[in-house]
């Protein structure tokens, strides 16, 4: 069934072109150099910040440089390294995921959504980030920024992450999925923030379907 709420193609294209102009160098803000590091950093980033994750990963990757090293340790040993990124369950999930990669995937981080999401503690968003950033596979990872900005702009009109992902994949050309993911995150962090978005200064104001503009007028 056609999506009657979907923006016309010219409107979607205008939004994407504006985002590209605003953020020509949008890229992952987590630090990693291979699929294993991408997976670990992305798992740590859930409900934490990229800045905080980037503080802890140098020591993690120094002392556990491979999947094999991570699989050989224990959650109790790993936890002090990653404590500042949140829950103890993250350390457990990372170690158990590494053991699964050793036993089921011959020590190589898998490169399909199905295999990645079969790993302990790896949800769809984490899997899509790993696919896009470690393997260059077109994917639309919907985190809190992508969800908020896409629905404010009108690129999506969904009440949940799964529908937002589907609508973004339908609206945005596949070749742009990975770039668009970073554009939306950059915009969400810098301008279209959750609290007090900077609508008055937003270059997308004229294209935005749900601006929060009145609440950010001078004197607010
Ligand atoms: S106009 Fe406001 S709500 Fe719309 S994208 Fe810009 S900052 Fe976000």
Residue 98 has a pLDDT of 98
Residue nearest to atom 2 of ligand 1 (CA): 199
Angstrom distance (rounded) from CA 153 to CA 192: 10
Splitting the chain (220 residues) into consecutive groups of 10 residues, what average pLDDT does each group show?
85 98 96 98 94 98 98 98 94 98 98 98 96 96 96 97 97 97 97 96 96 61
Choose which residue among 11, 191, 209 to substitute to test ligand 1 binding: the one with the highest number of ligand atoms within 8 A of its C-beta. Answer: 191
Helix axes 177-190, 161-171, angle to 10 degrees: 120
Output the pLDDT for position 4: 74
Pairwise CA distance, residues 38 & 42, whole Å: 6
Task: Give the CATH class of 35-135.
Answer: mainly alpha
- What pLDDT, on the 0 to 100 scale, is given for residue 220? 46
Could you state, in order of their start, the residue ranges of all structural domains in the chain?
A: 9-26+141-216, 35-135
* Rounded (5°) CA angle 209-198-30: 100
Q: Name residues contacting ligand 1 (CB within 6 A).
A: 152-153, 191-192, 197-199, 202, 204-205, 208, 211-212
The secondary structure of the chain in percent helix, strand, coil, rounded to multiples of 5, reads: 65, 0, 35
Identify the pLDDT of residue 1: 64
Q: Is 125 a catalytic residue?
A: yes
The verdict on whether 143 is a catalytic residue reads: yes
* Choice among 4, 115, 143, 179 that is catalytic: 143
Q: Which of these CATH numbers, 1.10.1670.10, 1.10.10.10, 3.30.2130.30, 3.40.250.10, describes 9-26+141-216?
A: 1.10.1670.10
The reported pTM is: 0.90
Residue 41 structure tokens = 């950093």
């Amino acid at each position: 069934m056609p999506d009657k709420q979907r923006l016309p193609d010219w409107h979607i294209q205008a939004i994407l072109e504006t985002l590209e102009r605003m953020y020509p160098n949008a890229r992952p803000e987590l630090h990693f150099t291979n699929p294993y590091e991408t997976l670990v950093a992305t798992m740590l980033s859930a409900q934490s910040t990229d800045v905080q994750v980037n503080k802890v990963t140098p020591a993690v990757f120094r002392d556990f440089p491979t999947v094999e090293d991570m699989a050989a340790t224990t959650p109790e040993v790993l936890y002090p390294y990653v404590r500042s990124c949140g829950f103890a369950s993250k350390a457990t999930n990372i170690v158990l995921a590494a053991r699964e990669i050793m036993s089921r995937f011959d020590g190589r981080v898998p490169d399909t959504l199905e295999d990645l999401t079969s790993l302990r503690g790896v949800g769809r968003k984490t899997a899509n980030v790993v696919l896009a950033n470690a393997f260059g596979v077109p994917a639309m990872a919907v985190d809190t920024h992508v969800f908020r900005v896409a629905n404010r702009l009108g690129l999506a009109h969904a009440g949940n992450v799964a529908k937002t992902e589907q609508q973004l994949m339908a609206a945005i050309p596949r070749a742009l999925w990975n770039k668009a993911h970073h554009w939306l995150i950059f915009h969400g962090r810098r301008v279209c923030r959750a609290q007090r978005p900077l609508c008055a200064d937003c270059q997308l104001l004229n294209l935005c379907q749900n601006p929060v503009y009145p609440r950010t007028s001078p004197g607010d």
